[in-house]
Amino acid sequence: MLTDIALKAMKPAERPYKKADGGSLFILVQPDGKKYWRFAYRFDGKQKLLSGGRYPQIGIRAARSWRDAAKAQLARGLDPSAERKADRSLLATSVSNSFEDVAREWLETRTLGWSPRYAALVVGRLEADVFPYLGSTEISAIAPRAILDVVRRIEARGAVEMAHRVKNHLSEIFRYAIPDGRCESDPCRDLTAAMTRPKPVQHRAKVSARELPDFFRRLNADGGERMSHLALRWTMLTMVRTQETRFAEWCEFEDLDGAEPLWRIPPERMKMRSEHLVPLSRQAVATLREIHGMNVFRKAGNMRLGRFLFPVASARSFVISENRMLDIMYRLGLRGKATVHGFRGLASTVLNESGKFEGDWIEHQLAHQPRGVRAAYNSARYLQHRRPMMQWWADYLEAAEKAGQEGNTMPSLLATPQAPRASSVMLPWDDQPASAGLSCAG
């Protein structure tokens, strides 16, 4: 029985030669190095030869399937050569092992466990950067050099990290095809050494804990729009990403006039497949009340605008731009020194260094969750732990702001968390409490 390794190792000679695979199937190696499948058989007492295509375009599995189909015709008293003339699709109907077919099959087994957004990203990468070059090639015939050519095309446009991600996708596809014999090894396994190394991960620049008092002092002295300031404060208090703040909707809040106010962010806005639960501190609820009070679209009659905490009538997305909060940072003299996203890193650092909270609670609050059933279970399990943690963080920020107003340095970490107090917030379009539970449709 032939293998892909043996076939690839066959070198041309001065005269054509052949190597048998079994069942009258063999490979013919020509002096120019080209290799062709052949099937020898007898029909009506005559020796005949049937061509099965060229290797590696036709791999071992496809060739054997073609041979078996030809044998089945012989068993029925049919001449495979004559049947081919009548039906040129015999070889095409054999099992397809092209790289794209296998990759699509792999995608079907993986996408159920991925978010729609991530699944679309992976499919897009393969369709744009891989299938045009490797899609029609037999998967077992793809050599490391062919993979390297693909990833270097990606590197050439400056997308070094993307090249490594694509290489990892390809490696998974090859490893998926090994168990059922469609390929024998992963040609990606030794490629990393030949690829451009990505730049070291640089964490987002952030305001340090000791700089917080001065940050709040500058923020309070800034003459920018108050709604932009509230968006920034909201992002800091809730430890969410900028986009989650920008597209926040009033209907996502519950129990705001109770003891356990909560922000329930739907999964389609998160970088995960499950919703994200954000317990709200009393400072967050107070900020929410001020945001409501400044919502100029409350009586504008535009329901779509009225959905959002930070609506903008002139914006295509109906919400504040992604640069609105960053502009504040620039005005405060923090261009190149700190970003809005950096406050998530600051919160993580402060909470971890306080020694009061488990790392898992902090990671869940940052939406750095494991996937699957365990993620949903832990999200609910840690909610009661995260509630006092978020109140502690809000108290910490409040103490930093007070220190800035008084011209003091940052005080030591707060001693104990305080229990959140009940608050009442009215929705912007119906004068009903947010705890009434409205739909986000609109």
Among the options 271, 298, 337, 385, which is catalytic?
A: 271
Rounded Cα distance between 425 and 256, Å, is 6
Helix segments in 11-98, DSSP class H: 60-75, 80-86
Are 100 and 135 a contacting pair, CB within 8 Å? yes
Among the options 153, 218, 341, 356, which is catalytic?
A: 341
For residue 434, with 0-12 CB atoms within 10 Å meaning exposed, 13-18 middle and 19 or more buried, which class applies?
Answer: buried
Is 164 among the residues known to form the active site?
A: no
Among the options 169, 307, 344, 364, which is catalytic?
A: 344
Is 233 among the residues known to form the active site?
A: no
For residue 74, with 0-12 CB atoms within 10 Å meaning exposed, 13-18 middle and 19 or more buried, which class applies?
Answer: middle
Is 371 among the residues known to form the active site?
A: no
Phi, psi of 29 (to 5 degrees): -105, 120
Q: Which amino acid is at 256?
A: L
Residue 77 CB contacts under 8 Å (≥ 6 apart), including other chains: none
Packing angle of the helix pair 144-156, 116-129 (nearest 10 deg): 100
Among the options 38, 64, 169, 241, which is catalytic?
A: 241
Among the options 34, 368, 371, 421, which is catalytic?
A: 368
Are 18 and 49 a contacting pair, CB within 8 Å? no
Backbone CA torsion sign across 407, 412, 418, 420: positive
Is 304 among the residues known to form the active site?
A: no
Among the options 117, 157, 377, 421, which is catalytic?
A: 377
CA terminus-to-terminus distance, the chain: 64
Number of other CB atoms surrounding residue 307 within 10 Å? 24
Is 341 among the residues known to form the active site?
A: yes
Number of other CB atoms surrounding residue 203 within 10 Å? 8
Is 145 among the residues known to form the active site?
A: no
**Which residues are part of the catalytic machinery?**
241, 271, 341, 344, 368, 377
